[in-house]
Amino acid sequence: MANCPENTRLHKFISFVFIIALSSTLCAQAYARGPYSYTGVELQNAVDEAYEKFKGLKDGKNADYIPILATVPSELFGVVIVTKAGDVYSAGDTDYIFAIESTSKPFNLALVMEEYGPEEVQEKIGVEATGLPFNSKLAMELIKARSVNPLVNAGAIAQVSMVKAKNEEERWDKVFQNMKDFAGTELKVMDEVYESEITTSWSNRAIANLLYNYGRLYSEPEDALRVYTKMCSVGVSTTDLGFMGATLANGGVNPKTGKRLMKEEYVHHLLAVMLTAGFYDESGEWAYTAGLPSKTGVGGGIVSVVPGVLAIAAFSPRLNEAGNSVRAQEAIDYISDKFDLNIFKPRKLPAVM
Ligand code: GLU
C-alpha cells in the first residue's frame, strides 16, 4: 500500500504516453488541412466509388474534329486524387497516356503570369468569360480584349505567343519544360496527335490571324499556332494531370519535386479564370454544381483544384456537346459532393485534429 501513489503516477504517465502515441498515429494517417480532413482510406474509397458509379455511362462521343482523337478507345476511364502533400489515390486507367489538349492552358498561363505578372495578363489577353464555345470567332468580335481569356483558344494562342523567347524553338522549349515541371515527370509530344491537329487547324489558324490583325498576338501567327498545337499534343496520364493540379492546390509548388513554379500570390488569379472559363460554355453550370476551379480538354481529361487541399483529375474520351468529358465530370462532381469540396460551401466536416 505504501508505494500506491507511485504506482498511480506511473500508471498516469504510461496512459499519457499511450494517448500521445495513438494521436500521433491518427494524425499521421489523416490528411488534414484546416477544416478539411480525410483519411487516405476515405479518399481511396471516393475514387473507387466514382469509378464504379460512372464506368457504365455511354453518353457523349469522342472529339473527331481532330481526326485522331476519334480513334482513342472510348471505354477508357481513370480517376485520381493527388493531395497537396503528393499522396495519390487512383482508380481505373490512370496510367493511359492521352492528349492533354486544353487542360494544358492553365499551366502555361502560370508561366506567362510569372513572366509578366497578373495585371499584364489581364491587359494583354483579357480574363472575361464568354458563355460561347471555346473556338468562337464571334466572341473575338464581341469582347473588346479580342483574345477573350487565356483558357479559350484565342486567349491560349495569345498566351503562348507571349512566352518570352528569341525564336520559336526557345519558346517551345520553355512551354514544354514548364509542363514537365508541373507534372513532375518527363512527358512526350504525341507526334500523331500533332500531325492530325496541325494539318486540320483551319479554325485555329483563322483565330491566330484574327488576333494578329487586331494587334493582340505577340509573335508570328504560324509560330504561335505551331507552339500552341504542340502544347495541346503533349501526352499525359490522369496521374500526371493530377500532379499538375496538385501543384496549384499546393500554392505553386510541385509536391513531388518541391520545385516552385509560380508565385503563391498569383495562384488565386489563375484559379479564378479556371472557375469562370475552364469548362467552356458550361463554366457557369459547373460553378453552380461542383463549384471547383477546373479545366477540361477535348482529349477527355479534366483537372479540378481544391485550393490548399488537393486536385482531382479524371479522363474518359466521350464528350458532351460543349466538349467536356461526360464520365470525368460526373466523377469529379461526385467526389466534390461527397467531401463538400465546393469552394462556395462552408466546411461541414469536423476536423480530425
Ligand atoms: N487543341 C484543341 C483545339 O485547339 C484544344 C481544344 C480543347 O481541348 O478545348 O481545338
Q: Looking at the predicted structure, is the pLDDT value of residue 288 above 50? A: yes
**Residue 31 gets which letter from DSSP?**
E
The residue behind cell 458509379 is 53
Which pLDDT score, from 0 to 100, does residue 1 have?
38
Q: What is the pLDDT of residues 144-194, one digit of tens each?
A: 888 889 999 999 999 999 999 999 999 999 999 999 999 999 999 999 999
Q: Please state the atom number of ligand 1 nearest to the C-alpha of residue 323.
A: 9
Q: What is the pLDDT of residues 48-66, one digit of tens each?
A: 999 999 999 999 999 999 9
Q: 314 has which bridge partners?
A: 79, 302
CA 74 and chain centroid, separation: 21
Cell, residue 121 = 495578363
User: From CA 275, how far away is CA 126, in angstroms rounded?
Assistant: 15
Point out the annotated binding site: 102, 153, 197, 204, 228, 280, 298
Q: What is the pLDDT of residues 244-266, one digit of tens each?
A: 999 999 999 999 999 999 999 99
- Give yes or no for residue 298 CB within 6 A of ligand 1: yes
User: From CA 234, how far away is CA 188, in angstroms rounded?
Assistant: 6
**Residue 295 gets which letter from DSSP?**
E
Q: Identify which has the larger pLDDT, 314 or 29.
A: 314
Q: How far is the CA of 53 from the centre of ligand 1 (A)?
A: 28
Q: Looking at the predicted structure, is the pLDDT value of residue 326 above 80? A: yes
For atom 2 of ligand 1, which residue has the closest CA?
101
Q: What is the pLDDT of residues 64-85, one digit of tens each?
A: 999 999 999 999 999 999 999 9
- Give yes or no for residue 101 CB within 6 A of ligand 1: yes
Query: Sorting pLDDT into bands at 50, 70 and 90, what band is 236?
Result: very high
pTM of the complete model:
0.88
Q: How far is the CA of 239 from the centre of ligand 1 (A)?
A: 20
Q: How far is the CA of 234 from the centre of ligand 1 (A)?
A: 12
Q: How far is the CA of 115 from the centre of ligand 1 (A)?
A: 24
Q: What is the pLDDT of residues 85-111, one digit of tens each?
A: 999 999 999 999 999 999 999 999 999
- Give yes or no for residue 278 CB within 6 A of ligand 1: no
- Look at residue 39 and give its three-state secondary structure: strand
Q: Please state the atom number of ligand 1 nearest to the C-alpha of residue 229.
A: 1
Point out the annotated binding site for substrate: 102, 153, 197, 204, 228, 280, 298
Strands 188-189 and 78-83: unpaired
Question: Which of 352, 318, 341 lies closest to 54, judged by CA?
Answer: 318
Q: How far is the CA of 69 from the centre of ligand 1 (A)?
A: 11
- Look at residue 330 and give its three-state secondary structure: helix
Distances (CA, A) of 13 to 1, 26, 46, 284, 338: 19, 20, 40, 57, 41
CA diameter of the chain: 97
Query: Sorting pLDDT into bands at 50, 70 and 90, what band is 13?
Result: low
Which pLDDT score, from 0 to 100, does residue 345 have?
87
- Give yes or no for residue 297 CB within 6 A of ligand 1: yes
Q: How far is the CA of 343 from the centre of ligand 1 (A)?
A: 27
- Give yes or no for residue 134 CB within 6 A of ligand 1: yes
- Minimum mean pLDDT range among 136-140, 163-167, 328-332: 136-140
248 in Cβ contact with 270 (< 8 Å): yes
Site to substitute for ligand 1 among 62, 101, 324, most atoms within 8 A of C-beta: 101
Q: Looking at the predicted structure, is the pLDDT value of residue 134 above 90? A: no
End-to-end CA distance of the chain: 40
Q: 61 has which bridge partners?
A: 319
What's the residue count for the chain?
353
Calculate what percentage of the chain has a pLDDT beyond 90. Answer: 80
Q: Please state the atom number of ligand 1 nearest to the C-alpha of residue 280.
A: 9
Q: Looking at the predicted structure, is the pLDDT value of residue 21 above 90? A: no
Mean residue pLDDT of the chain comes to 90
Q: Looking at the predicted structure, is the pLDDT value of residue 27 above 80? A: no
Task: Give the class (CATH, top level) of 40-338.
Answer: alpha beta
For atom 4 of ligand 1, which residue has the closest CA?
153
Q: How far is the CA of 134 from the centre of ligand 1 (A)?
A: 8
323 in Cβ contact with 329 (< 8 Å): no
Q: How far is the CA of 63 from the centre of ligand 1 (A)?
A: 10
- Give yes or no for residue 96 CB within 6 A of ligand 1: no
